[in-house]
Amino acid sequence: MGEHRRATGLRQVELTDAALRIVATRGIAALTTRSLAAEVGISTGAIFRHFASLDALLEAVVARVEAVLEATYPPLGLPPLERLERFIEARSSAVGNQLGILRLVLSEQFLLALPDRGSKRLAACVEKTRVFVAGCLREGQAAGALRADLPPDTLAPIVMGTVQMLALSGAKPRRRAAEARAVVRGLLELLAPLPKRGKEHRR
């Protein structure tokens, strides 16, 4: 019985990951039970042995997105800059390996296709990311480790855009990791405290 449940759980993950691949490569309109069955190599009827309905499958896709994104948050006890750096590298890598996540989160079409509860959960993922990034920036500013001439809510979209750009990189995983580290270093330089002006520059 335990083996059966585990096999079902693995198949459900396989199906949700396959759904994300379809969305990433062919778009949300291409996600049908037929295309999903073909992607995994099973019959369309077999899908419904693992999910009671198409809505249940879509809810599972949302849950998979939540799980992947949740795993990219570093421990809260780390200093804000280290937390931000680890987050950018982990999130860009995770989303880069599952580009369907980015397409789903940014796609109005998918949000409309989802059951209402599912679209609200995805919107909550985006908001949690924004709050996390802004919080790291706010703490970094308070500690004097980041520039304070712009509010955290203004800087947060720059960080989030950097994550998206890294995720969309066509580089292979190892090269993507090196690219992420280089980009994060550059980003942190841009976010570094501004040098104080000398008296000769003051009016």
- Give residue-wise pLDDT tens across range 16-28: 999 888 888 887 7
Nearest to 96 by CA among 123, 126, 69, 124: 69
Query: pTM score, two decimals?
Result: 0.82
SS3 151: coil
Better pLDDT: 108 or 59: 59
Q: What is the pLDDT of residue 3?
A: 41
What torsion do the CA atoms of 63, 65, 68, 70 make, to the nearest 10 degrees? -70
Cα 60 from Cα 51, distance rounded (Å): 9
Does residue 4 surpass a pLDDT of 90?
Answer: no
Average pLDDT score over residue span 139-154: 95
Cα 39 from Cα 61, distance rounded (Å): 15
pLDDT in tens, 96-142: 888 778 877 776 766 666 777 888 888 899 999 999 999 999 999 99
Nearest to 74 by CA among 86, 63, 66, 65: 86
Sorting pLDDT into bands at 50, 70 and 90, what band is 181?
confident
Token pair for 194:
């501004």
Residue ranges and CATH numbers for the domains of the chain are 2-191 (1.10.357.10)
Instruction: Please enumerate in sequence order all residues whose Cβ is within 8 A of that of 37, keeping only pairs 6 or more positions apart, or say none.
Output: 43, 44, 46, 47
Token pair for 59:
């809810």
Instruction: Please enumerate in sequence order all residues whose Cβ is within 8 A of that of 99, keeping only pairs 6 or more positions apart, or say none.
Output: 20, 24, 167, 168
